[in-house]
Amino acid sequence: PAIYCIGLNYKKHAAETNMPEPRFPIFFMKPGSAIVGHGDHIAIPSVCHPEEVDYEAELAIVIGRAAKNVTEEEALSYVAGYTAANDVTARRWQGKKGGGQWCRAKCFDSFLPLGPRLVPAAAIPDPNSLAISSTLNGQVMQQSNTRDMIFPVPKLIAFLSQGTTLLPGTVILTGTPEGVGFARKPPVYLKAGDTVTIAIEGIGELTNSVVAASE
């Protein structure tokens, strides 16, 4: 199954990056090789400059049954559950080295922590009313609510399913709120020895330590 990711989907995040809110969802993809679990390492490879790797707290959707051309009204019935995600991003590859597209910056091994558990959809009747945050070495960096999404969960599922089958097990990352490292003054990036935690109401905490990858 595919891993779809939505960019620039929180109003305050768009504002902090001085970018206009998109008219339609912006999406890119990540490979399965980027996935690690709760408690695993985020390993920064030498090809990523140490001053460029950023964290992004995100709500992740997991599709439970094949979805194609679904309406917004029925979209949530196709969800198996939700979990927390960290859309780790190498910012220099997102811009200068990646040719302006986002995939390469986000596709490195271990750049998609997921966890700590999959919460059944029935336990989260409204995925757009959840507190979401990221903490770096004990300091809160992002603190928001999924209600700030530009395109809510049902709209994302309906949009991605247009003419495309979302297979069971498909993962959809829904975007990150304000507070990312590159937008801070001065910027804050991940480095070996750091610990980053993504917390989402009703799901729990996803915690990973950062190391330098052994090449």
pLDDT in tens, 23-44: 999 999 999 999 999 999 999 9
Strand segments, DSSP code E, in the chain are: 3-7, 26-29, 35-36, 41-44, 53-54, 57-63, 79-86, 89-90, 112-120, 131-136, 139-145, 171-173, 195-200, 204-212
Contact 175, 27 (CB under 8 A): no
pLDDT in tens, 65-83: 999 999 999 999 999 999 9
pLDDT of the residue at 153: 98
For the entire predicted model, the pTM comes to 0.96
